[in-house]
């Protein structure tokens, strides 16, 4: 059986980084096939060394390269995070189309492809991850690699009308069609991509995922990513989780906890969520003094300017809501701009009566799945989920909302708070079954099977 070769911007070279969902999935596949993992070292240097850094750990060979300041800026901060990220999340208004950033983005894709190709052997399969490397398929083919290349996009793929706002959409699409298997989070993302190809390049959608375009046949399918479900359920009853629950319990003083956990990013719909909380207290007075909303949202460092604006907006909204409704012994809404250990998060999820997952757009949203797995089976909480999160396709037993309709979100929070334990159990049991069975291993196996990788 051949090796699996992973390419992603950040690798799990640092053992502590192997705790994240994606890192676990890739890591397990690589250790079982004695594979390789290519990516960025995390270092920014004046001049990149001719040879990348290589080392092995548990049978996995890492090949990582440093970036120059110009590469880190043009490739990572600008084109990946200030062009592709906003456009793919339908925020064309926030995209910064520069003159040379695409060139840097392409050059970094090519430079890494050139590190990969000479190290490939017959029988290997390549698996490329995410929006940093949309052009990688094209450069690997240009370098002479004819074997299988899979690609998984962790973020949404926008509708063709939005994708075409990218000045380089055609170059990107042609390079994407050089992958053998293209994985999307949802059926909607897959349909968007295929419609773009059909409408612009006469592609044929041949069924069972097969698409003919540019004289080739590729496979494009939805592979909704999962979590390490059983492990997360265990984390929710760990000592660390219990201690966290006790600590927040002191703050709650018997009130119901409504929880949000997101990276602070404009795609997550936080201002709209805060507006909805204001409307909850305004229109449903029985909730006043009875509910505490806690939003955990650590800043994303890669999007400094947008983060600053968002932070100001959230400060204002929280200040207004707390000023209007708060009392001597009650803070209606607070947010904590920091990260927590996953076991702490698991403990908070478990005692939260309601979890608000209301992004304006999200590839999948793993918080929704973590919340489900952390619940107490006898007294589960209620998941409120945006129709615009990829997870909504699988988790239809959550309370599904339109995050722009803030009054309706307020009503739904009230509905969740009043829901009987019988209905909570019925909904949760269905959600749990899905999250537990369609977990991270299921996702990996489904993708690798289509790529033709036969895991031992
Ligand atoms: P993200 O946009 O980061 O991921 P998400 O899927 O919700 O979004 O994953 C966030 C992860 O970070 C979760 O595991 C969560 O527990 C953790 N996290 C969030 N806030 C935290 C905090 N304060 N402290 C500690 N941990 C925190 C991208 C895409 C998603 C897609 C994933 C996986 O944007 O749409 O679901 O990749 O493919």
Q: How far is the CA of 362 from the centre of ligand 1 (A)?
A: 10
Between residues 13 and 190, the one the model is more confident about: 190
**Residue 301 pLDDT:** 59
pLDDT recorded at residue 123? 94
What phi, psi does 163 have (nearest 5°)?
A: -60, -35
Beta-carbon contacts of residue 64 (< 8 Å; ≥ 6 apart): 11, 13, 38, 39, 40, 41, 42, 52, 53, 54
For 117-132, how does the pLDDT look when each residue is reduced to its tens digit (9 = 90+)?
999 999 999 999 999 9
Quick one: DSSP state of residue 78? I
Structure confidence at residue 12 (pLDDT): 86
Quick one: which H or E segment has residue 184? strand 181-184
What per-residue confidence (pLDDT) applies to 88?
98
For a pLDDT cut of 70, what percent of the chain falls above it? Answer: 98
* 28 Cβ neighbours under 8 A, 6+ residues apart: 441, 444
Taking the C-alpha atoms of residue 383 and residue 368, their distance in angstroms, rounded to an integer, is 7
| Cα–Cα distance, 5 to 3 (Å, whole number) | 6
For every residue of 235-249, DSSP letters joined together read: HTTSHHHHHHHHHHH
What pLDDT, on the 0 to 100 scale, is given for residue 237? Answer: 97
Diameter of the chain by CA atoms?
Answer: 70
Two tokens, residue 154: 């962790």
d(CA 223, CA 364): 10
Q: Which atom of ligand 1 is nearest to the CA of 341?
A: 25
CA-derived radius of gyration, the chain: 23
pLDDT of residue 435: 98
Tell me what pLDDT residue 192 has. Answer: 98
The stretch 2-30 carries a mean pLDDT of 84
Distance of alpha carbon 198 from alpha carbon 105, whole angstroms: 26
Q: Would you say 219 and 210 are in contact if contact means Cβ atoms under 8 Å apart?
A: yes
Which atom of ligand 1 lies closest to the CA of 357?
A: 7
Average pLDDT, the chain: 95
Residue 130 CB–ligand 1 contact under 6 Å: no
pLDDT at 32 over 90: no
The pLDDT tens digits of the residues spanning 181-240 come to 999 999 999 999 999 999 999 999 999 999 999 999 999 999 999 999 999 999 999 999
Exposure string over 375-386, b if 16+ CB within 10 A, otherwise e? beeeebbbbbbb
Q: Residue 401, exposed/middle/buried by CB under 10 A (0-12, 13-18, 19+)? A: buried
Q: How many angstroms separate the CA atoms of 64 and 362, rounded?
A: 29
CATH code of domain 229-437: 3.40.50.2000
Indicate the domain borders of the chain: 4-226+440-451, 229-437
Residue with tokens 């196996």: 445
Encode pLDDT of 267-311 as tens digits: 999 999 999 999 999 999 999 999 999 999 987 755 667 788 888
What is the three-class DSSP state of 311?
Answer: helix
φ/ψ region of 38 (left if φ > 0, alpha if ψ in -120 to 50, else beta) reads beta
Confirm or reject: Cβ of 299 under 6 Å from ligand 1: no
**Closest ligand 1 atom to 391 CA:** 36
Q: If you take atom 9 of ligand 1, which residue's CA is the nearest one?
A: 366
Over 90: is that where the pLDDT of 180 sits? yes
Give 129-140 pLDDT, tens digit per residue: 999 999 999 999
pLDDT score of 254 more than 70: yes
Predicted pLDDT of residue 413? 98
> For strand 256-261 and strand 354-357, is the pairing parallel, antiparallel, or unpaired?
parallel
Q: Give residue 442's pLDDT.
A: 96
Query: Is the Cβ–Cβ distance between 314 and 275 less than 8 Å?
Result: no
Whether ligand 1 lies within 6 angstroms of the CB of 332 is answered as: no
154 close to ligand 1 (CB < 6 Angstrom): yes
CB 175 within 8 A of CB 182: no
DSSP codes joined into one string, 127-161: EEESGGGTTHHHHHHHTT--S-EEEE--S----HH
Q: How would residue 164 be classed by pLDDT, with cut points 50, 70 and 90?
A: very high
Q: Which residues are catalytic?
A: 154, 362
- Residue 396's pLDDT is 98
- Tell how far CA 348 is from the center of its chain: 20
Name the class of domain 4-226+440-451: alpha beta
Nearest residue (CA) to ligand 1, atom 20 = 262
Q: Place 21 in a pLDDT band, splitting at 50, 70 and 90.
A: low
CA 370 to centroid of ligand 1, rounded, Å: 10
Say yes or no to pLDDT of 373 above 60. yes
CA distances from 411 to 126, 285, 382, 403 (A): 47, 12, 14, 12
Q: Is there a shared CATH topology between the 4-226+440-451 domain and the 229-437 domain? A: yes
Nearest to 454 by CA among 121, 32, 23, 6: 32
Dihedral over Cα of 366, 262, 363, 187: its sign? positive
Contact status, residue 74 vs residue 50, Cβ threshold 8 Å: no
What is the pLDDT, as a whole number, of residue 299? 79
Ramachandran angles phi, psi of 327, nearest 5°: -140, 180
* Whether the CB of 370 sits within 6 Å of ligand 1: yes
pLDDT at 407 over 60: yes
Residue 419 in 3-state DSSP? coil
Higher model confidence: residue 375 or residue 99? Answer: 375
* CA–CA distance, 20 with 26 (Å, rounded to integer): 10
pLDDT at 141 over 60: yes
């Amino acid at each position: 059986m051949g090796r699996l070769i992973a390419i992603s911007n950040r690798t799990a070279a640092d053992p502590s980084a192997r705790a994240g969902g994606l890192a676990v999935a890739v890591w397990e596949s690589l250790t079982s096939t004695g594979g390789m993992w290519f990516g960025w070292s995390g270092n920014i240097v004046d001049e990149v060394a001719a040879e990348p850094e290589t080392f092995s750990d548990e049978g996995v060979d890492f090949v990582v390269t440093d970036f120059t300041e110009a590469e880190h800026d043009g490739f990572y901060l600008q084109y990946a995070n200030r062009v592709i990220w906003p456009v793919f999340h339908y925020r064309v208004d926030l995209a910064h189309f520069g003159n040379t950033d695409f060139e840097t983005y392409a050059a970094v894709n090519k430079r890494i492809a050139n590190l990969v190709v000479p190290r490939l052997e017959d029988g290997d399969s390549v698996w490329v991850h995410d929006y940093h490397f949309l052009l990688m398929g094209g450069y690997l083919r240009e370098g002479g690699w004819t074997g299988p290349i899979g690609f998984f996009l962790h973020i949404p793929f926008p509708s063709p009308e939005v994708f075409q706002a990218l000045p380089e959409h055609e170059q990107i699409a042609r390079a994407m069609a050089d992958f053998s298997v293209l994985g999307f989070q949802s059926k909607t993302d897959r349909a968007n991509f295929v419609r773009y190809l059909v409408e612009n390049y006469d592609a044929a959608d041949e069924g069972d995922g097969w698409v003919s375009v540019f004289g080739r046949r590729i496979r494009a399918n939805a592979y909704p990513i999962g979590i390490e479900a059983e492990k997360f359920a265990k984390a929710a009853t760990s000592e660390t989780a219990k201690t966290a629950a006790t600590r927040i319990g002191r703050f709650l003083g018997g009130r119901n906890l409504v929880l949000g956990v997101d990276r602070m990013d404009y795609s997550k719909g936080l201002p709209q969520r805060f507006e909805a909380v204001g409307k909850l207290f305004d229109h449903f007075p029985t909730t006043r003094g009875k509910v505490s909303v806690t939003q955990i949202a650590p800043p994303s460092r890669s999007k400094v300017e947008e983060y600053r604006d968002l932070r100001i907006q959230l400060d204002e909204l929280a200040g207004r809501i707390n000023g209007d409704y708060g009392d001597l012994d009650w803070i209606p809404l607070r947010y904590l701009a920091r990260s927590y250990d996953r076991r702490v998060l698991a403990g908070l999820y478990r005692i939260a009566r309601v979890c608000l997952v209301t992004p304006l757009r999200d590839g999948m949203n793993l918080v929704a799945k973590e919340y489900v797995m952390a619940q107490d089976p006898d007294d589960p909480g209620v998941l409120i989920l945006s129709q615009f999160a990829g997870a909504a396709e699988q988790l239809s037993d959550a309370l599904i909302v339109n995050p722009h309709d803030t009054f309706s979100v307020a009503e739904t929070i009230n509905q969740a708070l009043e829901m009987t334990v019988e209905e909570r159990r019925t909904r949760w049991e269905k959600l749990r079954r899905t999250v537990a069975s369609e977990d991270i291993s299921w996702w990996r196996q489904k993708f690798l099977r289509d790529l033709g990788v036969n895991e031992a």
